[in-house]
Structure 1
Amino acid sequence: MASAPVRALSSQSSRLSSRPVSDPEDRLAFFSCQQCMQSIRIHPSFYTMNEHTLAELTLPPVNPMPQFDFERARREADEAGHEIHGLAPPLRLAESHTHGFTFVDEQGDNVSLSRKMRETALLFDMLSESGEVDHPLCEECADNLLESMDQKLRVAEEEAQEYKAYLEKLESETEDDNHIQSLEKELETLENKEKTLREELKTLSEKTTKAEGDLEREMKAKKVIVEQEQKYWKEYSKFNREMLLNEDESKTVDCRLKYTESQLEKLKRLNIYNATFEIWYTDHFGTINGLRLGRSPSKPVDWNEINGAWGHTALLLWCLAKAIQMEPFQRYQLVPFGNFSYLKQLSDEKTLPLYGAGGFRMIFDSKFDHAMVAFLDCLQQFGDEVEKRGFHLPYEMERGKIKDNNTNNWYPIKLQFNSEDSWTKALRYMLTNLKWGLAFVCTKQGLPQDLSKNNSS
């Protein structure tokens, strides 16, 4: 709060006018407003103050403003290496003449400071030091300052009244011992509770630390388990793949086994002799495995086919004799050798070829005829053997001839001095006897028989 002298001087400051200087008597030095910087004219009352007013104004303020040591602040800034901008000390009007400050009238003539001017400047300096605002002020700025100070004063008085009312309320209240004791008990309870909570917090902190350690160990164990799990899944995938491959292989083996068993059953039901030696006829030719045995003037047969048919015939008789385990043939040894099969005469080891080449040479070559007669003799020995076992061949054979039961005619097996038709018919009857012998062997061995192609003589 401003002191009385300052407030009185502020009132005097409000008398300063900013109107221009026109009167000759007013041609005195003038100041500038420290707020709006307008030129102001000093009221004449400032020059007529008595000694008591000046003495009162020179008294120190009740709450003087602390003086700011600008030199100390500048030294500290220089020592710290900082640079201060905008730091300027307040202007003292009373000392302005030492800095070349002068008052200038309207004609621009320099006027030295008089004693009254020094006193006026000294009053303005005292007023500026005692408050927060620099002086002098014009009338308008002084009024604004007074309004602001009045508003602050009202706010301060209201606050003072509130504090005074609250203080009176506190002083009027009487202290209750029971209430104090209850508050002390409550304080003690809260302190105990705080202590308990602090102990619990300490326990929880220890448990948290332990739990974090356990968590870290569990995370490490989890990492190991995850790695083991990945390794397990890899091994599982590998074993699963191997298992699938083994299952596929097992199924393949089962399929092969079933196929083999089915083939075995087929083979068990198969007559190997009928499958190997198929005897049938084509036109008036007897055939074995599709090869015709015989010749005809109307349908000539190549000798390679005839020789092949004789080779199959020789092999069939050799297999039948071996199947019934009969004694070796007398007088001859049968040697199956494909298109070049032959018989060997046991008495002189003479070879009798069971194949021919055709042409005129065969008319004068009797070895082929002797071989066919020898083969028919071996077949007759086989017939005699199966006859002992209760089976008879359909066509009778004797000395190189075979008998037709329907006409009782005998047909020689030789080619010389014989017609091709007779020779072909004899060969056909011979194949029929072999087919019957084949049926006998299959019956004895329990093999299924296929008699759908029996020859009807």
Structure 2
Amino acid sequence: MAAGGESSNKVVVSFTCQRCQCPIILDHSFNSIDEHTLAELHLPLYAPPPLELGEKAVDSGVIDKYVPPVSDNENHGFTIVGGSELTSQQSQLLKTHMELFDILSNNTEIDHPLCDECCDTLITLLESEQRAAEDECKQYEDFLKKLESESDTEDIETLEAQLKDLKVEETKLVVELRELKVDETNATEALESQRKQFRQLKEQEEEFMKEYCRHKRELNELEDYSQSLDYELRYAEAQSERLEKTNALNATFHIWHSGHFGTINTFRLGRLPSEPVDWNEINAAWGQCALLLNALARKINFKFSNYQIVPFGNHSYIKASIAGFNVLADNSELPLYASGGFSRFLWDTKFDQGMTAFLDCLNQLQAAMLERPGQSGFALPYRMAEKGKIEDTASGKTYSIKIQLNSEENWTKALKFMLTNLKWALAWVSSQYVQEEIVGSTSTNTSTISKAY
């Protein structure tokens, strides 16, 4: 219950709906109810049936529905939410209204007051309950009429025959039930046996699966190892094929040029006033040339006439002899190295003799190459003459390989031409070596095939 504002322009709200809690504005006719009307309203609307408590009440289907009133404090009934100072007239009216709603609530199972919407909803619900009760009552009446119309006399013999048949059928069903119970017991035992066997098979399956996984892992490891070996074999075959195609002489001795200098394995051969190459580098280059020329001669089974090249790093030299006798007696070793200083070469000509002997050995190697069948037209690009001379066939100029009475520029150019001839000789020997290998492998395969047949 709530009270509105004290202003005359505002509507006083004293009650709320006990269902939806909405404020209710009462009709003005509620203000004119006298005591006689209230006394008549106190009379019961209908005589309620005696209320039975306990198990009988539950069995009979009577359920007491109690809807407590809405209140925000400990007091029951309606709640006053208006001002605390009410006039005596308002108190009297409010008391009358409260008494009226208490009468309505006591005579019904529904708490009052209710708003219009809740009243409509309640009426609809009561009407549906009324229709359901009327339908149920009609069904009872129809059933009662049907019972009254049926005859009370029945054929007893027919019923006894039916009873006898039912007892025989009951006996059969009991026997069948016993058999089914026996079958059920046997089936249960068989099922338990099958379950036990299933558990055993499950354990065996797990063991087999573990064994399978172990073998599968070993197989994968073996396959990985086999694949790894296959890759290693392919790599080894590729390396072998590459090495077979690679010429050891070409890979070992790289002859090229660097500006005005000829180089062998990056060692420069020669000197210029503008670029004074260290003599250790020149001696190392001569050692590489001596090693290469000696290797080419051995490759084609050729021996130099009157000379023997001794590769000894940056102190390589050439032994000179005629018919087993030394040309220079005690000084038969012709060095391919020097310590520097052109003034020294004016008095010591062994270095010049060694370079001249090296050029003569290269010329002998060219002659040996020409003696090979099918090589009559072969020639090195620069013609080598006697006494350490090398000729540029393009310009016709001749350069001396000696240092004595020679300029550094001409000496360097002569050494460059000599390295070019040496590179050509290396290429020729390499090509001959490859051809011999091809012929040798072909003959080997042919002999193998002939032996197989």
- When normalised by structure 1's length, the TM-score is 0.50
Distance 1:260 1:211 in 2: 70
Provide the C-alpha distance between the structure 2 equivalents of 1:340 and 1:187, rounded to a whole number of angstroms: 139
Please name the residue that 1:332 is paired with: 307
Unaligned runs of 5+ in 2: 1-151, 327-331, 436-453
Q: Does 1:354 align with 2:306?
A: no
Give the match for residue 343 of structure 1.
Answer: 318
Query: How much does 1:385 deviate?
Result: 0.5
Task: Write the letter of the residue equivalent to 1:331.
Answer: N
SS at match of 1:415: coil
Q: Give 1:408 shift.
A: 5.0
Q: Which blocks of at least 5 consecutive residues in structure 1 are unaligned?
A: 1-172, 448-457
| Deviation per residue, 1:421-444 (Å, 9 max, x gap) | 332222122112112212322443
- 1:383, distance to aligned residue in structure 2 (A): 0.9
**Alpha-carbon shift at residue 361 of structure 1 (Å):** 5.6
**CA–CA distance in 2 between the matches of 1:413 and 1:383?**
18
Q: What residue identity is the alignment partner of 1:392?
A: A
- Residues 260/248 of structure 1: CA separation in 2 closer, same or farther (3 Å cut): same
CA RMSD of aligned residues (A): 3.5
User: In the alignment, which residue of structure 1 is the partner of 2:285?
Assistant: 309
SS at structure 2 position matched to 1:339:
coil
CA distance in 1 between counterparts of 2:205 and 2:214 reads: 14
Q: Which amino acid aligns with 1:420?
A: E
Shift in Å, 1:302: 0.9
Partner SS state of residue 276, structure 2 = coil
Match 1:368 to one of 328, 351, 354: 351
Q: Judging changes above 3 Å, is the alpha-carbon distance between structure 1 residues 217 and 333 closer, same or farther for their aligned structure 2 residues? A: farther
Does structure 1 conserve the Cα–Cα contact (< 8 Å) formed by 2:359 and 2:384?
Answer: no
Change (3 A) 1:204 1:309: same
Query: Rg: which structure is higher?
Result: 1
1:132-170 CA distances to partner (integer Å, 9 max, x unpaired)? xxxxxxxxxxxxxxxxxxxxxxxxxxxxxxxxxxxxxxx
- Distance in 2 between the 1:191 and 1:218 partners? 39
SS of equivalent residue, structure 1 residue 385:
helix
Larger RCO, structures 1/2 (Cα 8 Å, 6+ apart):
1
CA contact (8 A) 1:336 1:342 kept: yes
Take 1:407 and 1:205, find their aligned partners in 2: how far apart are those partners?
126
Matching of residue 383 in structure 1 with residue 366 in structure 2: yes
Q: Determine the C-alpha separation between the residues in 2 that align with 1:363 and 1:232.
A: 96
Query: Is this contact kept in 2: 1:326–1:385, CA < 8 A?
Result: no
1:264 deviation in Å? 5.2
TM-score, length-scaled by structure 2 = 0.51
Point out 4+ residue stretches in structure 1 off by more than 6 angstroms. none
Change (3 A) 1:194 1:272: same
1:223 matched residue in structure 2: 199
CA contact (8 A) 1:380 1:398 kept: no
Q: Secondary structure at the match of 1:338?
A: coil
Do the aligned residues in 2 keep the contact of 1:307 with 1:355 (CA within 8 Å)?
yes
Deviation at 1:303, TM superposition (A): 1.6
Q: Choose from 383, 390, 393 the match for 2:380.
A: 393
SS in 1 for 2:301: coil
* Alpha-carbon distance in 2 for matches of 1:363, 1:216: 119
Residue 400 and residue 221 in structure 1: after superposition, are their counterparts in 2 closer, same or farther (change >3 A)? same
User: Contact 1:353/1:371 (CA < 8 Å) preserved in 2?
Assistant: yes
Partners of 1:344 and 1:285 in 2: CA distance: 27
Within 1, Cα distance between the matches of 2:197 and 2:310?
Answer: 86
Shift of 1:308: 2.0
Distance 1:338-1:219 versus aligned 2 partners, 3 A rule: farther
Q: Percent identity?
A: 47
Q: Distance between the aligned counterparts of 1:367 and 1:269, measured in 2?
A: 41
Aligned residues: 271
Q: Does 2:255 align with 1:279?
A: yes
Q: Does 1:441 align with 2:441?
A: no
Partner AA of 2:424 in structure 1: W
Q: Distance in 1 between matches of 2:180 and 2:432?
A: 102
Distance 1:245 1:388, change over 3 A: same
